């Protein structure tokens, strides 16, 4: 079938039975102990979430339903021959666990297009905000402005049976993801282009329409957008944006509320805002040292950043311990399309210099670049120059991962989240032997 909802509906009873069997057979087994360091250290290393859509390996990086990024670049349908994957294909995979064919992706694209129009009041809400409001604030507020459309909230109010929760959550997920290109591009055009909006093109796919509605019509920019929107979707469940979405959704707050919460987390400089920070940082390098600084100059610059008590943006990760494959595939894209771009050369120079410096500090667990170290330079090259907007593009993509999981969270009947917290007193009393 080319109908995503019916393909998904068929899978749900199997997976519900599977989870029941897991609970019955293994419910009392231990999955690792918890140390005081873990309690204090942001729960690092605690396995405490069920997340079906993707899994992160510290060395190998992300796998979406078992597939690595290079595998997906090969196997997912593309808009042009040998082109980048269409994010709709990844969405199909995340929701169903199965690789879609071209017809299935085309049907999903068409379904999203049919739901894409933004109600007028959303733009009025955006325009009522202070002109200096950061695009991420506008994005999160815009998602909340759409919340009155929630079919889940309406169904809950009417008294829906909990076995049916996934259905209106699926509808909300589709409607919200469908509207994100219009919402994001409205913010972009309002903030940077005098509010001159561009209609969606009924012949374009979801990611290409995002580029198109922002004002970028050429094929290579649209290809970049397809790749960008595919690789930022999901990074298992514990990262701040995914976990915030999951946590808020666990209270049965609808997908608009929960995704907005995820965006608020993505807006932090240690998470998604790092892509904006990286670019501002590279500009500072260029302003101070010019387009072709020496390795020693770059080393000094990195050390100066560290000594001033700041992080090197785009490097490090809470789970990864090698170069992020999302960085690697953007590097491949850059080598193919913009090998001589001075900013790309600068990014490459940092790749040579930063890891050994971070290693030298003796405390950074992962000295390698993450996804955010590369994305800004690609966007710059194609004319998307406004770095304060970059995290919005990350957020548009992230919706696909976290909301696909939200559908499964409700289908599997996952409960409200409520981990235990303790005070310092409790730790001291427990272990001091007094
Ligand atoms: N530059 C400087 N110091 C860094 C660092 C970096 N890039 N990465 C880690 N460290 C420091 C930490 O701040 C910490 O220092 P203190 O002990 O003084 O507090 C120490 O090294 C140990 O941290 P860690 O265990 O290696 O890393 P965490 O899991 O605590 O943090 C992350 C992970 C991503 C927040 C951190 O690496 C960082 O701040 N990176 C820069 C910001 C960034 O690129 N974020 C984007 C990540 C990808 C994404 O989510 O989009």
Segment 333-373, tens digit of pLDDT: 999 999 999 999 999 999 999 999 999 999 999 999 999 99
| Residue 353 tokens, joined | 């210099």
Provide the CATH number for the domain around residue 319: 1.10.230.10
Burial class for 157, CB neighbours closer than 10 Å (0-12, 13-18, 19+): exposed
CA of 13 to the centre of ligand 1 (A): 41
Within this chain, do residues 126 and 248 fall inside the same structural domain, yes or no?
A: yes
pLDDT at residue 109 in the model: 98
130 is catalytic: no
pLDDT at residue 39 in the model: 97
Q: Would you mind telling me the total number of residues written for the chain in this entry?
A: 434
Within this chain, do residues 106 and 164 fall inside the same structural domain, yes or no?
A: yes
Closest CA to 43 of 235, 237, 234, 238: 238
pLDDT band at residue 136 using 50, 70 and 90 as cut-offs? very high
Q: Is residue 434 part of a domain?
A: no
pLDDT at residue 434 in the model: 64
372 is catalytic: yes
Mean pLDDT of 301-311: 96
Percent with pLDDT over 70 in the chain = 100
Residue 372 Cβ < 6 Å to ligand 1: yes
Q: In the predicted model, is pLDDT for residue 145 greater than 90? A: yes
Q: What angle do CA 405, 10, 410 make, to 5 degrees?
A: 30
CA of 311 to the centre of ligand 1 (A): 7
Mean pLDDT of 137-141: 98
Q: Are 282 and 273 in contact (CB under 8 A)?
A: no
Mean pLDDT of 273-290: 94
Mean pLDDT of 123-134: 96
Mean pLDDT of 319-345: 96
| Residues linked to residue 67 through DSSP beta bridges, in sequence order | 64
Helix (H, G, I), strand (E, B) or coil at 100: coil
CA of 313 to the centre of ligand 1 (A): 8
φ/ψ of residue 67, rounded to 5: -105, 135
Helix (H, G, I), strand (E, B) or coil at 106: helix
pLDDT at residue 433 in the model: 79
CA of 317 to the centre of ligand 1 (A): 6
Q: In the predicted model, is pLDDT for residue 288 greater than 80? A: yes
Q: Are 65 and 58 in contact (CB under 8 A)?
A: no
Q: Are 152 and 164 in contact (CB under 8 A)?
A: no
Mean pLDDT of 183-207: 97
Within this chain, do residues 367 and 406 fall inside the same structural domain, yes or no?
A: no
| Residue 196 tokens, joined | 């001159």
Provide the CATH number for the domain around residue 86: 1.10.580.10
Percent with pLDDT over 90 in the chain = 99
- Catalytic, out of 212, 235, 271, 374: 271
Within this chain, do residues 199 and 299 fall inside the same structural domain, yes or no?
A: no
How far CA 324 is from CA of 68, 319, 333, 373, in Å, comes to: 12, 10, 14, 10
Range of the structural domain that residue 365 is part of: 274-381
| Residue 93 tokens, joined | 């995979």
Q: Is residue 33 part of a domain?
A: no
Within this chain, do residues 81 and 205 fall inside the same structural domain, yes or no?
A: yes
| Cα–Cα dist 198/136, whole Å | 20
Q: What is the mean pLDDT of the chain?
A: 97
Within this chain, do residues 161 and 123 fall inside the same structural domain, yes or no?
A: yes
Q: Which of 268, 311, 362 to mutate to test the pocket of ligand 1 (most atoms within 8 A of CB)?
A: 311
- Pseudo-torsion of CA 122, 123, 125, 128, nearest 10°? 180
How many domains does the chain fold into?
A: 2
End-to-end CA distance of the chain: 66
Residue whose Cα lies nearest atom 50 of ligand 1: it is 271
Element (H, E) at 409: helix 390-411
pLDDT at residue 428 in the model: 96
| Residues linked to residue 228 through DSSP beta bridges, in sequence order | none
- The pTM score is 0.97
Least confident among 170-179, 240-249, 290-299: 290-299
| Residue 402 tokens, joined | 């976290």
pLDDT at residue 405 in the model: 98
| Cα–Cα dist 238/45, whole Å | 10
Q: Are 400 and 177 in contact (CB under 8 A)?
A: yes
Within this chain, do residues 156 and 283 fall inside the same structural domain, yes or no?
A: no
Mean pLDDT of 197-214: 98
Residue 130 Cβ < 6 Å to ligand 1: no
Q: What are the pLDDT digits (tens) for 152-187?
A: 999 999 999 999 999 999 999 999 999 999 999 999
201 is catalytic: no
């Amino acid at each position: 079938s080319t109908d995503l909802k019916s393909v998904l509906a068929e899978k749900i009873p199997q997976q519900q039975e599977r989870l029941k069997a897991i609970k019955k057979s293994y419910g009392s087994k231990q999955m690792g102990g918890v140390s005081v360091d873990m309690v204090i250290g942001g729960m690092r290393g605690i396995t405490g979430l069920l997340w079906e859509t993707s899994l992160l390996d510290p060395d190998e990086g992300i796998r979406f339903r078992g597939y690595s990024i290079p595998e997906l670049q090969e196997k997912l349908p593309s808009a042009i021959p040998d082109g980048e994957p269409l994010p709709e294909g990844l969405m199909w995979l995340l929701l169903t666990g199965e690789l879609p064919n071209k017809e299935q992706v085309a049907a999903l694209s068409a379904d999203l297009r049919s739901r894409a129009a933004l109600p007028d009041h959303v733009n009025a809400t955006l325009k009522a905000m202070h002109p200096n409001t950061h695009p991420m604030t506008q994005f999160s507020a815009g998602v909340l402005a759409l919340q009155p459309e929630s079919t889940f909230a309406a169904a809950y109010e009417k008294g829906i049976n909990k076995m049916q929760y996934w259905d209106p959550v699926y509808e909300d997920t589709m409607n919200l993801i469908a509207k994100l290109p219009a919402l994001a591009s409205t913010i972009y055009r309002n903030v940077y282009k005098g509010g001159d909006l561009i209609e969606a093109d009924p012949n374009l796919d979801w990611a290409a329409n995002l580029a198109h509605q922002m004002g970028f019509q050429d094929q290579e920019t649209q290809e970049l957008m397809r790749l960008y929107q595919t690789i930022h979707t999901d990074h298992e469940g514990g990262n701040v944006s995914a976990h915030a979405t999951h946590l808020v959704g666990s209270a049965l707050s609808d997908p608009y509320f929960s995704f907005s919460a995820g965006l608020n987390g993505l807006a932090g400089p240690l998470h998604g805002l790092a892509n904006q920070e990286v670019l501002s940082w590279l500009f500072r390098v260029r302003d101070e040292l010019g387009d072709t600084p020496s390795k020693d100059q770059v080393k000094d610059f990195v050390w100066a950043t560290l000594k001033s008590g700041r992080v090197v943006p785009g490097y490090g990760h809470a789970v990864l311990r090698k170069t992020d494959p999302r960085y690697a595939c953007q590097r491949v894209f850059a080598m193919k399309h913009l090998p001589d771009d001075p900013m790309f050369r600068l990014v490459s120079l940092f790749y040579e210099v930063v890891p050994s410096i971070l290693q030298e500090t003796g405390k950074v667990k992962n000295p390698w670049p993450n996804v955010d170290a590369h994305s800004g330079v690609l966007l710059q090259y194609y004319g998307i120059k406004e770095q304060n907007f970059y995290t919005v593009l990350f957020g548009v993509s992230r919706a696909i991962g976290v909301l696909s999981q939200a559908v499964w969270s409700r289908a599997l009947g996952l409960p409200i989240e409520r981990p235990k917290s303790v005070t310092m007193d409790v730790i001291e009393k427990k272990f001091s032997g007094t």
